[in-house]
Amino acid sequence: MRFSTLSVLALLAASIPVLAQDNPNDFAAVDTDASGAISWAEVIAALPSLTEEAFAAADEDESGELSEDEYLKVLASVAP
């Protein structure tokens, strides 16, 4: 039983970045660790075409992560 529980948890954890890709407009879905900010790893899972330079430019407070406001500006800049 313990092995199957661990297997299910591992599969669930592996699927989190995929969930973020389904709706990159949903900040909470992209913020997979629920930290209140989006890391480079989280944003690239949701927006694989975003460059590190664009991420750094959007990071106005130079925290190394994007706040919700910073992320919304990124979305506006990559919108078709």
Segment 45-66, tens digit of pLDDT: 999 999 999 999 999 999 999 9
> What is the rounded average pLDDT for all residues in the chain?
81
Quote the pLDDT of residue 22: 64
Whole-angstrom distance, CA of residue 50 vs CA of residue 53: 8
Task: Walk me through the domains of the chain, giving residue ranges and CATH numbers.
Answer: 2-78 (1.10.238)
Whole-angstrom distance, CA of residue 26 vs CA of residue 21: 10
Q: Are 24 and 46 in contact (CB under 8 A)?
A: yes
Q: Are 20 and 42 in contact (CB under 8 A)?
A: yes
pLDDT digits (tens, 9 = 90+) for 9-44: 444 444 444 444 567 889 999 999 999 999 999 999
Question: pLDDT confidence of 78, banded at 50, 70, 90?
Answer: confident
Quote the pLDDT of residue 79: 76
